[in-house]
Chains A and B, each alone.
Chain A
Amino acid sequence: MSTRLSKGGRLIDRSASQEFSFNGKKLRGLKGDSLAAALLANDQMLLGRSFKYHRPRGIVAAGPEEPNAIVGLGRDGRFEPNQRVTTTELFDGLEAASQNHWPSLEFDVGVINNSLARFLPGGFYYKTFMWPRAAWKHLFEPIIRRSAGLGKAPTARDADRYEHTYSFCDVLILGGGIAGLQAALVAGASGARVMLLEQAAHWGGRAPVDGDVIEGAPADVWINNAVQTLAALENVTMKLRTMGAGVYDHGYVLAEEKVADTTPGDGRPKKRLWRIRAKQIVTATGAIERPLSFAGNDIPGVMLAGSVREYVVNYAVSPGDRTVVVTNNDDAYRTAIALVQAGLSVPCIIDARSTVTGDLPAKARAMGIRVEAGKAIAKVKGGKRVTGVSLCAQAGQGAVLEEISCDAVAMSGGWSPVVHLWSHCGGKLIWDKTHAHFRPDAARPPTGADGLAMVVPVGNANGMMTAADALVCGAKGGAAAAQAAGFSAEAKAAVADAAPEADMEAVWIMPQGAGDALKAKMWLDYQNDVKVSDVQLAAREGYTSVEHTKRYTTLGMATDQGKLSNINGLAVLADALHEEIPQVGTTTFRPPYAPVTLGALAGESRGDIFQPLRKTPMHAWHEKNHAYFEPVGLWRRPYTFPRPGENHEQAVHREVINTRTNLGLLDASTLGKIVVKGPDAGRFLDMLYTGVMSTLPVGKCRYGLMCNEQGFLSDDGVVARIDEDTWLCHTTSGGADRIHAWMEDWLQCEWWDWQVYTANVTEQLAQVAVVGPNARKVLEKLGGMDVSKETLPFMQWADGTLGGFPARVYRISFSGELSYEVAVPASMGLAFWEALHAAGAEFGAMPYGTEALHIMRAEKGFIMIGDETDGTIIPQDLNLGWAISKKKADYLGKRGQERNYLASPDRWKLAGFETLDGSVIQDGAYIPSAGKNANGQGNTQGRVTSTYHSPTLKKGIAMGLIKGGLDRIGDVVEFTTITGGTVKAKVVDPVFYDKDGEKNNV
């Protein structure tokens, strides 16, 4: 069993007991424990079930590489699925629950997949896609969907808060082990701005666990000194619990900081995403131990040797009373030695190498530990827990020599540098035969904006596997990074005692000649249940690329992203393909290094500040008056102002009728307003608009269309001539920023010698459309300026005051009614709006929203950008030829409109439509025509673009595009309905209401 030892544990505080629960069971751990350590201390080895076969799974590792021990943490608004117990710090009140099992962890029905394993081989998912089709839909998909998926997605709203922060430095060091600390000491001494990040809750990494001696003292002493030295430097920032997640272009790095994981609800952000720009990045990310592939290597109790050592040394937790160590290298002997020193039993060290002569083995032997050279594990025995191993010769096929009883197995297949962050942005790897691992190729680094190397790998992460080498490498790397960032630095390294290690020997399967039965029980990917036999099958089926094999078998595609399995998997693949490992290569390393919480990526973008909502100065009034809002770009505009008992449609119809008979008030503040001024402003606007603006007299307004260079209609609005060299251009509500940018683009990049300035004054002004037969009366009541027909006729503007408010009044109409648009400074917008309502009460003033606006413009046959246009419509399609100058030699879009297919008489053109039965044509309806096209689809001859019930005319009205356009007036056509039927409609003039403009001409 696994248990807490009575002595030792460098990270735990035995005086601080902490209560937590696992699957509802109350357990106790110690302050400083990882959740994994605390669970092991309570003999909780079984923690979950694998993805496909639902086999029992226990803790394998002690860090972020853990593939098995993933749990759900917390509850309700703080529930998080798929959390690794190895990277979770214990705190009082922590709640954890296992996942991927039903009905219980101990008894799981899904384990039946395990006995069906031979029917679920590698490529199972792909094969079910292929054959037969019906089987996928009715048989495989339901089964896979029920059994697939690990943790459950949270259903409650996340109770925590998150944030981003930006940071800048000269040298960013990722990893606070001894190599990272050494690099930071050197770079820090150079005066460079240094940032040092460590994913764990403590500094120093594995050196103290390995018993390294630095500068003649235990590693802990040097580590503490280094941390104190660095903390005293103002130019050095240090962050624990902060994981470098990804390295991106030009020195951009994302890191996730755990701020309040162990103090839920204390008000601090749970996580913080650091968005760092570094001139140079030092990756001191260490190395990850590889499992060995022997039968039953997935049974709970089989762990990585280095991790076993870590639990013993750091947490005083023994994974087992009797631990068999199995290895192909000297390092694992440290585990055996540590276990024996802790008073535990190591019945045997099984070493695949035929001769074992190094210092560490000598020490182990001297301690009386049995060492079996040239041996292997034929098979691990046990179900939910290891009960023993069968010993065999590594060279053979697995004939059992001896059964050894044990309750834990510590395995080591060698160490792989964590090259992920080096590789994210293009750093290349070389195969190191001595250590049988890939390490960074210094000759092919990731490069930055200057084309030079921007990442420096150090320590284990650079394949420097001893403490002595790691420190030297760390110092050199720290100095190189500081120098590259423009500082002078000296690569002075601390000296570690170098304990010589004999060469390891690559062992990819154990025993070497294992047959099919054994290989089908050798796990490569524990979480996704990919075995040696699956990879070999993929190779036989023609998957020769490592990227294809990965996807076919799902090797390395679990939440651990193959941190343990990739190298073993590709070695098996290389062997099956009879190729060398470097020829097969690795899969691509992509960020994040380990999973990053979605909340951290979202940062502050949640709730009220998920997205900037633009509000007019009258927004609060609209809210108070029960407006129903609709999004227009990022603006929120009132769609309608329903009264008690009204639905939206009734409210809209009331607003239309009231505006046409009394007085309607519209908040038009969102309308774009751009001032264009300069000696060349007229010439510029003549290029921008299809019509002529340079000839517009001062004091007058003119409707204009803007097209893109392809000739397609892009925006429309009324232009006012303010003075000799100043115009004010109104744009659509959604178009203000786009059109302002469009203007600046042409002025800066094409006609930069033209003297024109623009200013976007949209938000400086609140604008109100005062509309209806009583519009003039209310303005006259406010008083201050002459708004009579004579002084201020249609399509003119005037400055003055209204009710004491400084105002610019435009006599323009988008409804066909007598209408004024009044602009006042935004800070007075609300007061002016309220003054209009107060003064207008006796004239029947009511606010109206965008839907009433849309209906009224449709009743008048006015087009709306985005309804009648969709980016493929030229003004000519909309019968707007009158707004296009025939005389101008050029305007933006002119050449585009001359393309022959745009000039074709076959183009669909705008017309009005009225259904014969008065009903409303459905949005999106098409007008079918006879025959079928080349693809066998029914032909069409037109479509609806705007369709409403007109409360004024008490029937359905619509505008649409139809082949032949206005020439078709009088024809009866059919529009499709969503249920597959059709509705008959007559083609009519699109001006449905007040054709002669009498309402406005008052």
Chain B
Amino acid sequence: MLILECPYCGVKAEETELTPGYEAHLKRFGPGASDEEFEAYMFARKNPKGVHFERWRHVYGCGKWFLAARDTNTLEVFGTYPAQSSAPPAALQDKIKAKRPDWKGYK
């Protein structure tokens, strides 16, 4: 059972205090989007063995959504950061790159 530190309130929350929100950094496609774009937004989800970015909500705590970078295989957590981020913080990306040289980036 994971522990993720909420970047808002600092609680090292265990998984039972959180609710998962699946893949992070999705771009919403609305009216005017092509079928392909909409399909990709709605249904095509990454499922990597390795570095992954996810949405989590501190639902039994401060109620805020945050994002987490972790390794889906080893469960190592590289970091958490606010949901109001269009991309992972640069320092976090550097840290992941250092630990996982083969990592291709978050996109």
Contacts and interface: CB of A to CB of B under 8 A. Distances in A.
A779 B29 CA distance: 49
Nearest to A449: B77
B30 interface: yes
Contacts of A249: 1-2, 75
Given A447-B74, A450-B76, A748-B83, A277 B3 contact: yes
A890 B74 contact: no
Contact of A752 (B32, B38, B83): B83
Given A748-B84, A749-B83, A750-B28, A896 B42 contact: yes
Which of the four size classes fits the interface of chain A?
A: 20 to 34
Contacts of B29: 895
Nearest to B21: A745
A698 to B, nearest CB: 29
Contacts of B21: 745, 749
A894 B3 contact: no
Contacts of B35: 899
Nearest to B65: A748
Interface string A238-264: 000000000011111000000000000
Contacts of A723: none
A889 B30 CA distance: 9
Nearest to B19: A741
A251 B12 CA distance: 13
A108 interface: no
B63 to A, nearest CB: 7
B40 interface: no
Contact of A749 (B38, B42, B55, B77): B55
A451 interface: yes
Interface residues of B, number: 28
A252 B1 contact: yes
Contacts of B38: 895-896, 899
A623 to B, nearest CB: 30
B31 A898 contact: yes
A575 to B, nearest CB: 34
Contacts of A744: 63, 65
A890 B33 CA distance: 11
Nearest to B74: A447
A744 B66 CA distance: 12
Contact of A894 (B30, B63, B76, B84): B30
Contact of B76 (A248, A277, A449, A749): A449
B42 A889 contact: no
Nearest to A744: B63
Nearest to B43: A710
A709 B42 contact: yes
Interface string B62-92: 0111000001001111000001100000000
Nearest to A753: B84
Contacts of B99: 451
Sorted nearest first, the 3 A-B pairs with minimum C-beta distance are A451-B76, A752-B84, A748-B65
Interface of A: 248-252, 277, 447-451, 709-710, 741, 744-745, 748-750, 752, 889-890, 894-896, 898-899
30 contacts: A249-B1, A249-B75, A250-B2, A250-B3, A252-B1, A252-B14, A277-B3, A447-B76, A449-B2, A449-B3, A449-B76, A450-B77, A451-B71, A710-B42, A741-B57, A741-B59, A745-B21, A745-B57, A748-B65, A749-B21, A749-B83, A749-B84, A750-B28, A752-B84, A889-B31, A890-B31, A894-B30, A895-B32, A895-B33, A899-B35
